[in-house]
Structure 1
Amino acid sequence: MDDKHMQIGEVATRTELSLRTIRHYEETGLVTPSARSQGGFRLYTETDVDRLMVIRRMKPLGFTLDQMRDLLDATDRLDADDDLATEGREALLDRVREYERAATEQVEKLRVQLSRAEDFAVTLRVRLHEKAPVRP
């Protein structure tokens, strides 16, 4: 059962997101706290943490807030509605597949960038080694 509630500070620690970022995602409708304490504090569940982790993983890949919202909507609908008509389920799966393809493509681009950055760092290291005086 998903009934353990966490306050925003614990969620921030678990997701490595700032309180401000979590609040921003709430304001933009990407995540909604599952409950509020009697004192009005936001309370989150594991499902909410999972949702924030999806957002956190999408952000460095360049996905927009609208794209994050669209993917979360598709996955929410797939998770919630076992009675979806076949064509409705396929349409949602196609949306998720498109995000998977876009993520894979972006990961490949980042790998190329990382490789170039590593080559650059090696070039600088070699240059420093060639030009720096030998230390005993």
Structure 2
Amino acid sequence: MHIGEVAELTGLSLRTIRHYEEVGLVPASARSQGGFRLYTAADVARLMVIRRMKPLGFTLEQMGELLAITDRLDGHAGAGPLSEAESQALQRRLEVFERAARERCETLRTQLQWAEEFAADLHRRGGQVARGD
């Protein structure tokens, strides 16, 4: 796929996708004869992981770490078979990310509730002013 198609599928801007490529999170799988970046379904899946991590406040470094963990667990890291000890260590690290994501989601839910309460208060105040209360 060309970068425009990937942008449409992921909801990310071309600039953002290029940035993630530049920092090594999602290298383009190939280049066309004309030099255009080409991406695979696996590249799109990586971008979706990043897109989901971004609103939770994960850093680029943390995103890279998580992608490295999942690459290794999925057998895509090119480092040969996993030992039982390595697999368990990676699973523990994955669990740390899962807990962090759940905690950050809960924080966002609380912040959203507060924001909705604030918007409702403003709406009520606006209605009072319009009626002259």
Q: TM-score range by the shorter chain?
A: over 0.9
Which AA in structure 1 matches 2:95? R
CA distance in 1, matches of 2:2, 2:31: 9
Trace 1:78-97 onto structure 2 (pairs within 5 A).
78-80=73-75, 83-97=81-95
Q: Match of 2:122?
A: 124
Q: 2:21 aligns with which of 23, 26, 42?
A: 26
CA distance in 2, matches of 1:133, 1:106: 41
Which AA in structure 1 matches 2:28? P
CA distance in 1, matches of 2:40, 2:102: 29
Q: Match of 1:77?
A: 72
CA distance in 1, matches of 2:50, 2:113: 26
In structure 1, stretches of 5+ residues that fail to align are 1-5
Name the count of aligned residue pairs. Answer: 129
Secondary structure at the counterpart of residue 132 of structure 1: helix
Q: Match of 1:111?
A: 109
Q: 1:49 aligns with which of 41, 44, 47?
A: 44
RMSD between aligned residues:
1.3
Q: 2:59 aligns with which of 36, 53, 64?
A: 64
Shift of 1:14: 0.6
Which AA in structure 1 matches 2:55? P
CA distance in 1, matches of 2:89, 2:27: 25
Shift of 1:133: 2.6
CA distance in 1, matches of 2:19, 2:128: 49
Stretch moving more, 110-119 or 79-88: 79-88
Where has structure 1 moved over 4 Å in runs of 4 or more? Answer: none
- For the pair 1:36 / 2:31, whether they are aligned, the reply is yes
Secondary structure at the counterpart of residue 38 of structure 2: strand
Shift of 1:131: 2.1
CA distance in 2, matches of 1:128, 1:18: 36
CA distance in 2, matches of 1:110, 1:77: 30
Using the aligned pairs only, state the percent identity. Answer: 62
